[in-house]
Amino acid sequence: MMKSLLPQSQLRRSAAASSAARSSVGGAEGPAAASDSSAGGTKPTSSSTFWFLLHALCCLISLFLGFRFSRLLFFLLFSSSALYAASNTNNPSSASSASHVVVGRHGIRIRPWPHPDPVEVMRAHRIMDRVQEEQRRWYGVREPRHVLAVTPTYSRAFQALHLTGLLHSLRNVPYPLTWLVVEAGGVTNATAALLARSGLTVVHVPFPDRMPLDWAERHATENRMRLHALRVIRERKMDGVVVFADDSNVHSMELFDEAQKVQWMAAVSVGILAHTGAAEQPRLTEDDRKSMPLPVQGPACNASGQLAGWHTFNTLPFSGKTAAVVGEAAPVLPRGLEWAGFIINSRMLWKEAEGKPEWVKDLDAVGENGEEIENPLTLLNDASFVEPLGNCGKKILLWWLRVEARADSKFPAGWVIEPPLEVVIPAKRTPWPETTTEVSSEQLEGKQEQEDRRLSRTNRSARSRSTTTKRKGDVQN
């Protein structure tokens, strides 16, 4: 009924749309049905036949050769050398700058090792110095104090050796530093020349007494020399922290960092290197080694980190075996607490200083009656105010050592070899001729004749060339 009511044109359009939908559905089902029908009776293609025949051929060759031929073929076709060759052909610049070596299945690429540019190296060092300076500025001591290093010395065979090592250590200190060198027996030219080449701010102080040869007397003389340097600091009102740097000791840079924390007087742990020059040494058992105390001098703290006492070096195992004279082949031991283990504020030496504590003695009252000064604790009325540094004495910040030349040793003056060394072991081959041999008169005459002949030949060849050029010019004219 509705179809009859619609116009004739709309009926035609709806019939066309329905026929198109049926054709699309039928077309979609057609290929699927064709594929389903062909799946049942598929025939082998030519590519699968080729790979099957190739596999069979490789199996026959492998059976004949005794190994899998297909792996060898695959390796030859797709090896790393072929890959590197392909990459080098694509990038010829990289092939010229780098080579490769094939080891087994893996390729090793060899790149040229560039030599460091000295300009870039120095620039890197300057950048590192700048970074370290900024780190010290932000995380280190904001206002570093001046370091006053006191060193007693005297003229001897190992003086240049010890002072050279010490000055190189002091040059690495990252704080302003003044080196006070007290020389026994007066100032010598050799010591002054060495200090002038150090590049440090040096105060060369003469001491009238000479250094004795006995070790006990030498210890007492060195103590008086250090006290003399402290008086020079007081007279000149030098402000800073005083470090007792003996010339034969070994110092760590952390010692000078800890010195910046001193308020008035502090103590650090010192490692005692009790060397021995004796040829015969007693063999210690395991029990003796375990029972021997640590060769350390320094402050001992309690659980709260306060100074409770002192740990000193035990000299009992060396009783009767120590050296009595400088140069003797025997160990040298410290006498009590060494000055090298103490750091003091120079303002406690001044007569008038702001905030100077009452438990500090006047420097004029120390040693006025001729008593021997063993260590800096004699400058205090109460030694309990000493500040332990280095993690409360747990860190060893320097090492005490006394090494001197033997009495029968022979060393050149100023360590300058003059005249030159004598030949002890001759060389097997001399790469240059002897220049001291004289040439005979006959050899000189023969050489002169050869030179004249050579000059005459040269003149003849020059004349023949000139005549040949003249003839060619005449012919051309």
Q: What is the 3-state secondary structure (H, E, C) of 188-223?
A: CHHHHHHHHCCCCEEEEEEECCCCCCEHHHHHHHHH
Strand 265-267 versus strand 396-400 pairing type: unpaired
Q: How confident is the model at residue 180 (pLDDT cuts 50, 70, 90)?
A: very high
Residue 472 has pLDDT above 60, yes or no: no
The per-residue pLDDT of the chain, averaged, comes to 76
The pLDDT of residue 98: 47
Q: What would the mean pLDDT of 120-144 be, rounded to a whole number?
A: 86
The token duo for 140 is 């280190």
Q: What would the mean pLDDT of 112-124 be, rounded to a whole number?
A: 79
Tell which residue, 205, 189, 234, 226, has the closest CA to residue 363.
Answer: 234
More confident residue, 460 or 145: 145
Q: DSSP character for 121? A: H
Tell which residue, 374, 385, 397, has the closest CA to residue 298.
Answer: 397
Handedness of CA 190, 196, 197, 199 (dihedral sign): positive
Q: How confident is the model at residue 279 (pLDDT cuts 50, 70, 90)?
A: very low
In the chain, pLDDT over 70 holds for what percent of residues? 65
Instruction: Please state, in angstroms and rounded to a whole number, the distance separating the CA atoms of residues 124 and 444.
Output: 60
The pLDDT of residue 371: 73
The token duo for 15 is 């019939």
Distances (CA, A) of 276 to 271, 280, 292, 401: 16, 10, 17, 11
Token pair 């701010």 in the structure block, residue:
201
Instruction: Please state, in angstroms and rounded to a whole number, the distance separating the CA atoms of residues 86 and 92.
Output: 10
User: How many residues would you count in the chain?
Assistant: 477
The pLDDT of residue 9: 46
Q: How confident is the model at residue 6 (pLDDT cuts 50, 70, 90)?
A: very low
More confident residue, 4 or 184: 184
The token duo for 17 is 């749309």
Q: What would the mean pLDDT of 327-339 be, rounded to a whole number?
A: 77
Residue 88 has pLDDT above 80, yes or no: no
Q: How confident is the model at residue 44 (pLDDT cuts 50, 70, 90)?
A: low
Q: How confident is the model at residue 7 (pLDDT cuts 50, 70, 90)?
A: very low
The pLDDT of residue 281: 54
Highest mean pLDDT among 175-179, 272-276, 303-307: 175-179
Instruction: Please state, in angstroms and rounded to a whole number, the distance separating the CA atoms of residues 353 and 349.
Output: 8
Single-letter amino acid code for the residue at 167: L
Q: Apex CA 234: angle with CA 229 and CA 240, to 5°? A: 85
Token pair 């040298």 in the structure block, residue:
332
Residue 97 has pLDDT above 50, yes or no: no
Single-letter amino acid code for the residue at 258: E
- Using left for φ > 0, alpha for ψ between -120 and 50, and beta otherwise, residue 194 falls in alpha
Q: Which residues contact 383 (CB under 8 A, 6 or more apart)?
A: 377
Q: Which of 90-94, 188-192, 198-202 has the lowest mean pLDDT?
A: 90-94
Residue 23 has pLDDT above 50, yes or no: no
The pLDDT of residue 36: 43
Single-letter amino acid code for the residue at 347: R
The pTM of this model reads: 0.61
What is the SS3 assignment for 1?
coil
More confident residue, 201 or 453: 201
Q: Are 246 and 373 in contact (CB under 8 A)?
A: no
More confident residue, 380 or 471: 380
Q: Are 334 and 310 in contact (CB under 8 A)?
A: no
Instruction: Please state, in angstroms and rounded to a whole number, the distance separating the CA atoms of residues 186 and 425.
Output: 42
The pLDDT of residue 262: 93
More confident residue, 80 or 61: 61
Instruction: Please state, in angstroms and rounded to a whole number, the distance separating the CA atoms of residues 200 and 206.
Output: 18
Instruction: Please state, in angstroms and rounded to a whole number, the distance separating the CA atoms of residues 19 and 411.
Output: 122
What is the SS3 assignment for 266?
strand
Across 221-292, the runs of DSSP E, i.e. the strands, are 241-244, 250-251, 265-267, 269-272
Instruction: Please state, in angstroms and rounded to a whole number, the distance separating the CA atoms of residues 317 and 296.
Output: 15
Q: DSSP character for 234? A: H
First to last CA, the chain: 130
Cα 5 → chain centroid: 106
Q: Which of 97-111, 287-301, 315-329, 417-431 has the lowest mean pLDDT?
A: 97-111
What is the SS3 assignment for 445?
helix
For the residues of 286-330, what is the DSSP string, one character each? HHHHHHSPPSEEEEEE-TTS-EEEEE----GGGTT-S-SBTT-SS
- Using left for φ > 0, alpha for ψ between -120 and 50, and beta otherwise, residue 393 falls in left
